[in-house]
Amino acid sequence: MAQAAGLLDQDQLSCSICLDLLKDPVTIPCGHSYCMGCIKGCWDQDDLTGVYSCPQCREAFTQRPVLRKNTMLAEVVEKVKKTGLQPAPPAHCYAGPGDVACDFCTEINCKAVKSCLVCLASYCETHLQPHYIFPPLKKHKLVKATGNLQEKICSHHDKLLEIYCRTDQQFICYLCTIEEHKGHVAVSVATERTEKQKQLGVTQSKFQQRIQEREKELQDLRQAVQSLKRSAQAAVEDSERIFTELIRSIERRRSEVKELIRDQEKAAVSRAEGLLERLEQEIAELSRRDAELEQLSHTEDHIHFLQSSKSLCVPPGPGDLPSITINPHFSFESVRKCVSELKEQLEDVCKGEMSKISKAGRAVGIYGCFTETGEPSEARATAS
């Protein structure tokens, strides 16, 4: 039986009217159970209307149901009383961290579902039932369970703060209106809430409009960033291609200059080597004749001397070899000078063009700023 009782919810063995274990339990046609005396007292008040309803599910009966004791449920309640066990509420009914506890649960800390601004108390589902059943309690103001009920009470009169003083901009009770707030502009909290709700609605509309505007700017900015990235990538690729072509062009010009110098060197050296060979031949011939003259000058045969001197004394002619004039400053210095000047001109051109490129690069960007109050000023995005 202890195990059986542990499997029962508290609502199954408690009367939702008196909130205690069922006494003489009766089950009405809709299936809900109550104490015999509690349901009789409740329906006695309905005799004036002639309509009898279940306090829990509100099912109405045009004729007052005949009440008979539920013997099986009565036996369970009696055994629970004898064992001293109380049925446990469902696990979700326990008050956890951040929950508001029921002010009427003593042994078990149940979670409150509603707070009454008249009773200034919080109730679990079970202890809240009288507020749904008894006419005087039905008029009470129920709100979502809150743990700061004392903040809604006037510290001077211990009454509910249900009036708002617009003059002093504070919450007051009805006794405050006839004392320290007498003559002030005061309205009900509900009226002030309605007025403030309208103002909040206007402010909220402005916020929503601003959100839409900023979301549009956010989308435009993201698109501008993507466009900027694509443009930058295209510029990098084009620059790489152009500079690669420029480098290749310079390489070709370097090869051409090198080939020109080598060709000129080869032609000049070839001409010089021809002249060298012919000069060497002439020198050899002149040396031979000089030696013959030297030998002839020492001969003692006068007839031989006279016969030979006629042919040997013929002075050497200019022959086919032209006059040779050697430039002591002969070199490719002028070529070197031209290449150096070309280098300087290219550097000057590159420096001037790089200045233009840098200026054009700094002009590309996304600009925007905020004022000191946080309001956005004009922003623009450029990408090309």
CATH number at residue 15: 3.30.40.10
> Which residues span the domain enclosing 55?
1-88
Q: Do residues 182 and 163 lie in contact, with contact meaning Cβ atoms separated by under 8 Å? A: no
Q: Which residues of the chain have pLDDT under 50?
A: 1-7, 379, 381, 383-384
Residue spans of alpha helices (H) in 54-126: 71-83
Instruction: Tell whether 177 is covered by a domain.
Output: no
* Cα separation, 178 vs 180, whole angstroms: 7
* Cα separation, 160 vs 173, whole angstroms: 6
Instruction: Tell whether 23 is covered by a domain.
Output: yes
Instruction: Tell whether 26 is covered by a domain.
Output: yes
* Cα separation, 53 vs 42, whole angstroms: 9
pLDDT tens per residue, range 65-103:
888 888 888 888 887 777 655 555 555 566 667 788 888
pTM more than 0.75: no
pLDDT of res. 69? 87
Instruction: Tell whether 11 is covered by a domain.
Output: yes
* Cα separation, 101 vs 19, whole angstroms: 17
Which amino acid, residue 367?
Y
Residue 375 gets the label, from left (phi > 0), alpha (psi -120 to 50) or beta, of: beta
278: exposed, middle or buried (C-beta count within 10 Å: 0-12, 13-18, 19+)? middle
Provide the domain count of the chain.
1
Instruction: Tell whether 214 is covered by a domain.
Output: no
Instruction: Tell whether 194 is covered by a domain.
Output: no
Q: Which residues contact 188 (CB under 8 A, 6 or more apart)?
A: 162, 163, 164
Instruction: Tell whether 256 is covered by a domain.
Output: no
Instruction: Tell whether 206 is covered by a domain.
Output: no
